C-alpha cells in the first residue's frame, strides 16, 4: 500500500508504474515470509493460508 501511495505522488506515469511493480513484488515477499513463519511454527496452517491467499489476490488485482 505504501508503494502505491508513494507512486501516486509522482507526476510521471512511468514512475507510478514502477511503484505498482514494487507493490506487486512486495506481495510476493509477503508470501515468502508466510512460508518462513509457518516453517518456524510462528503461525499455523490456517493463518498461513489466509495471509498467503490475501497476498495472491492482491497480486492478481494488480495485473492489468
- Domain interval for residue 26: 2-61
In the chain, the percentage of residues whose pLDDT exceeds 70 is 94
pLDDT confidence tier of residue 4, bands split at 50, 70 and 90 = confident
pTM score, two decimals?
0.73
Q: How many domains, the chain? A: 1
CATH (domain of 42): 1.20.1440.60
In the chain, the percentage of residues whose pLDDT exceeds 90 is 48
- pLDDT tens-digit map of 39-64: 999 999 999 999 999 999 988 876 54
Q: Average pLDDT for residues 4-22, to the nearest whole number?
A: 82
Q: What does the CA dihedral 35, 39, 43, 48 come to, rounded to 10 degrees? A: 30
Q: Are 64 and 39 in contact (CB under 8 A)?
A: no
Amino acid at each position: 500500500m505504501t508503494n502505491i501511495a508513494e507512486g501516486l505522488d509522482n507526476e510521471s506515469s512511468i514512475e507510478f508504474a514502477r511503484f505498482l511493480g514494487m507493490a506487486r513484488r512486495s506481495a510476493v515477499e509477503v508470501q515468502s515470509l508466510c512460508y518462513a513463519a509457518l516453517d518456524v511454527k510462528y503461525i499455523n496452517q490456517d493463518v498461513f493460508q489466509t495471509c498467503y491467499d490475501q497476498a495472491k489476490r492482491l497480486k492478481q488485482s494488480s495485473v492489468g
